[in-house]
Amino acid sequence: MGLGKTLQTISLLGYLHEFRGITGPHMVVAPKSTLGNWMKEIRRFCPVLRTVKLLGNQDERKHIREDLLVAGKFDVCVTSFEMAIKEKTALRRFSWRYVIIDEAHRIKNENSLLSKTMRLYHANYRLLITGTPLQNNLHELWSLLNFLLPEIFSSA
């Protein structure tokens, strides 16, 4: 869409790393088709961030889980919506600093499997990015606000 959402998010993670000493772990969940771009942009604009892409077949993911997705070995885990669901057991082991959802309108239905799964992850902070405005009703907005601040937006 060209609004600079990816770069702004990478800039935030870079700022936290360089100026605040907060190295993560952070998780970016995005459409599968954008994961390559996320990795490329992180390497280009903030190469100091140790980034792992969690994607692949069962054997590839096993290798990633056992060898790369280890506390202290990475700063950012970039994964797809599908992998966030499939690999929830492995991903729930972490206490994430930031859970970032690209194309956040994908969790506008609070009853969807993706939305329910994303709510399982413990994170100090949550960030939703999207270039797609909500169109249907206020309940969709509530669902996003509930994901960000469940203690404030606790019931619809």
DSSP 36-86: HHHHHHHHHH-TTS-EEEE-SSHHHHHHIIIIIS-TTS-SEEEEEHHHHHH
Residue type, 70: V
**pLDDT of 50 over the 60 cut:** yes
DSSP assignment letter at 24: -
What gap in Å lies between CA 34 and CA 39, rounded to an integer?
Answer: 9
CATH classification for the domain delimited by 5-148, as one of 3.30.499.10, 3.30.565.10, 3.40.50.1820, 3.40.50.10810: 3.40.50.10810
* pLDDT tens for each residue of 74-98: 999 999 999 999 999 999 999 999 9
* pLDDT tens for each residue of 107-120: 888 889 999 999 99
* pLDDT tens for each residue of 119-148: 999 999 999 998 876 667 777 788 888 888
Taking the C-alpha atoms of 94, 89, 130 and 145 in order, what is their torsion angle to the nearest 10 degrees? -80
Q: Is the peptide bond before 47 cis (omega within 30 degrees of 0)?
A: no
What gap in Å lies between CA 149 and CA 147, rounded to an integer?
Answer: 6
What's the number of CA atoms in the CB half-sphere (13 Å) around residue 112? 16
Domain boundaries of the chain, sorted by first residue: 5-148
Find the angle CA(19)-CA(43)-CA(16) to the nearest 5 degrees.
20
